[in-house]
């Protein structure tokens, strides 16, 4: 090889397809410059290379922290071949032009996703400096430099170079622009992953001063909220491992729509919160329609959890999304099979259950690869002109500090029912009222009144949906009662206990009304609005 050949710099952490790619370049007459682990990998495979330190005539320093940050490298990458001044200066300095840069970066994203978390010192060393700098330099000078950031790109480039006898000019301007754009997208994702993780660590997971959003390629959906609206789903690219609804497998059914994703999201949030509440031998079932739960149940038997969740509001459950905390059994699938639903979400399905549920072609049967208990996270919402951010997670009631404010007191079983109900109501649109009840082997909603401008109206809706099941049930409110009228209505429908945050200037009127009716009531001290 001579330095008159086309030159490529290869410096990669991920060595997938590296050797055949490098061998193809050499066979096409290219000179390869490499460093560190990449050069060792290539030499061990019998591929002749030039060590980068030999090329720059400068050793690596600081345990490899500085190796490619040298003018011989960046001058060779950034020199414009159409600019006579650039090329003259390159010759004057004794440098050579670089025709291809192949770099993938230190695995910061992978390292930051480890559980348990790595020490800060280890994480910091996974911040690549030279790699992104070379990528950006090459992408900036895309007219003269081919920039590769992913092993998936290698074969296509080799095919084009082979077709043109190895000459870099064989790579069209259109393809160079595409590669440059992909390169800038990669460095942008990388920087975002670093800033996101360090913000979490340095800022103690508080709301950041600025937000930066980066996604992987979007997936077109059937349509948006309405058929005339185009829509897509974009997975978060700041996470090394796909999580949530980016980590699902659809086993059957039509393409998902925008509304499907919204309902699946609401279902998943409740499932993740139920995992905190549920013991291993308890099954949680969630039914969601138009972003609101219509029924939620926890039971020792999965079949019963489905039955009770459905009985909460069978009318609203028509065309719903169903979710389970555990693998769906054949027995459960047999119960669900005749019900009309849009999607069902679970960690897994028994094979017989999957076959049965998939028998109707339009049903979307979806498994989620990892169902983890919910934690506090920064969540964003776009509005006109900007973004809102808040910490969101499972309802964090300090149950040891909950105040019993009535003459009648709740026993430990009622408190456990209240804990179940609080999980549910935290995901019901405000103003929200729910009615919950103990069953022989678990807990269930019996009536849900979501999204009302009037709290008393929410009580009426929950009562209507519960019917006779409201007798001896518990009423839970996501905010305080401004007047005692809701307490009086609760008495009329047979409510035995009430859970609310308190905080109204008329709290005493509500307490007096509850005492008058013999209803027990607790104040949690925490409002649970969801808009």
The C-alpha atoms of residue 158 and residue 343 are separated, in whole angstroms, by 44
The C-alpha atoms of residue 345 and residue 43 are separated, in whole angstroms, by 50
Q: Select which of 58, 140, 339, 360 is catalytic.
A: 140
Task: Please name the residue ranges forming H helices in 203-349.
Answer: 258-277, 302-312, 330-336
Q: How many C-beta atoms surround the C-beta of residue 338 within 10 A?
A: 7
140 is catalytic: yes
Which two structure tokens, joined as six digits, stand for 387? 């973004």
Cβ-proximal residues to 54 (8 Å cutoff; 6+ apart), any chain: none
The C-alpha atoms of residue 271 and residue 262 are separated, in whole angstroms, by 14
Q: Select which of 290, 330, 460, 526 is catalytic.
A: 290
> 302-323 burial by CB neighbour count: b if 16+ within 10 A, else e?
bbbbbbbbbbbbeebbeebbbb
CB 302 within 8 A of CB 326: yes
CB 269 within 8 A of CB 378: no
The C-alpha atoms of residue 324 and residue 359 are separated, in whole angstroms, by 19
Show contacts of 329-332: CB within 8 Å, 24+ apart: 329/302, 329/303, 329/353, 330/356, 331/302, 331/303, 332/302, 332/303, 332/306
Cβ-proximal residues to 401 (8 Å cutoff; 6+ apart), any chain: 525
Query: Taking Cα atoms as reference points, which of 47, 21, 24, 242 lies closest to residue 151?
Result: 21
DSSP letter for each residue of 122-139: HHHHT--SHHHHHHHHHH
Cα end-to-end distance, the chain, whole Å? 67
58 is catalytic: no
The C-alpha atoms of residue 419 and residue 230 are separated, in whole angstroms, by 40
Count helices and strands in the chain by DSSP H and E runs: 18, 21
- Which residue numbers are catalytic? 140, 290
């Amino acid at each position: 090889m001579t330095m008159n050949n086309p030159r490529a710099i290869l410096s990669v952490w991920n060595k997938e397809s590296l050797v055949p790619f490098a061998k193809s370049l050499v066979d096409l007459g290219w000179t390869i410059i490499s460093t560190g682990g990449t050069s060792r990998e290539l030499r061990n495979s019998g591929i002749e290379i030039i060590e980068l330190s030999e090329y720059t005539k400068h050793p690596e320093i600081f345990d490899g922290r500085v190796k490619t940050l040298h003018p011989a490298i960046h001058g060779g990458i950034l020199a414009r071949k159409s600019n006579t001044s650039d090329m003259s200066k390159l010759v004057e300095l004794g440098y050579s032009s670089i025709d291809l840069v192949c770099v993938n970066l230190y695995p910061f994203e992978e390292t930051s996703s480890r559980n348990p978390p790595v020490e800060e010192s280890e994480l910091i060393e996974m911040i690549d400096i030279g790699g992104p700098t070379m990528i950006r330099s090459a992408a900036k000078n895309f007219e003269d430099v081919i920039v590769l950031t992913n092993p998936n790109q290698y074969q296509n480039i080799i095919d084009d170079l082979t077709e043109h006898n190895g000459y870099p000019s064989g790579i069209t301007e259109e393809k160079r622009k595409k590669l440059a754009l992909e390169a800038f997208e990669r460095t942008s994702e990388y920087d975002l992953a670093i800033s996101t993780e360090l913000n979490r660590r340095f800022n103690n997971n508080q709301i950041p001063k600025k937000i930066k959003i980066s996604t992987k390629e979007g997936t077109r959906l059937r349509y948006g909220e309405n058929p005339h609206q185009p829509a897509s789903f974009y997975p978060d690219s700041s996470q090394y491992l796909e999580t949530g609804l980016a980590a699902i497998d659809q086993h059957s059914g039509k393409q998902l729509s925008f509304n499907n994703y919204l309902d699946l999201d609401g279902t998943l949030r409740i499932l993740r919160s139920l995992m905190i509440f549920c013991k291993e031998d308890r099954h949680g079932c969630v039914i969601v329609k138009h972003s609101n739960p219509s029924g939620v149940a926890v039971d020792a038997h999965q079949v019963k959890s489905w039955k009770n969740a459905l009985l909460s509001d069978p009318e609203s459950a028509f065309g719903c999304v169903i979710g389970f905390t555990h693998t769906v059994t054949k027995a459960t699938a047999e119960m669900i099979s005749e019900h009309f639903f849009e999607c069902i979400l679970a960690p897994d399905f028994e094979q017989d259950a999957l076959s049965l549920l998939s028998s109707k072609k339009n049903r979307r049967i979806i498994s989620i690869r990892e169902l983890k208990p919910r934690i506090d996270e920064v969540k964003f919402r776009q509005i006109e002109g900007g973004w809102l951010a808040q910490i969101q997670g499972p309802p964090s009631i300090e149950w040891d500090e909950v105040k019993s404010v009535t003459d009648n007191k709740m026993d430990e079983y009622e408190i456990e029912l209240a804990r179940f109900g609080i999980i549910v109501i935290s995901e019901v649109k405000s103003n929200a009222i729910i009615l919950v009840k103990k069953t022989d082997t678990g807990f269930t909603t019996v009536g849900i009144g979501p999204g009302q401008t009037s709290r008393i109206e929410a009580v009426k809706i929950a009562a209507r949906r519960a019917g006779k099941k409201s007798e001896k049930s518990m009423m839970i409110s996501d905010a305080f009662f401004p007047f005692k009228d809701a307490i009086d209505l609760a008495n009329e429908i047979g409510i035995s206990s009430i859970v609310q945050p308190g905080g109204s200037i008329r709290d005493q009127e509500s307490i007096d009304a509850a005492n008058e009716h013999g209803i027990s009531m607790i104040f949690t001290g925490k409002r649970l609005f969801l808009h």
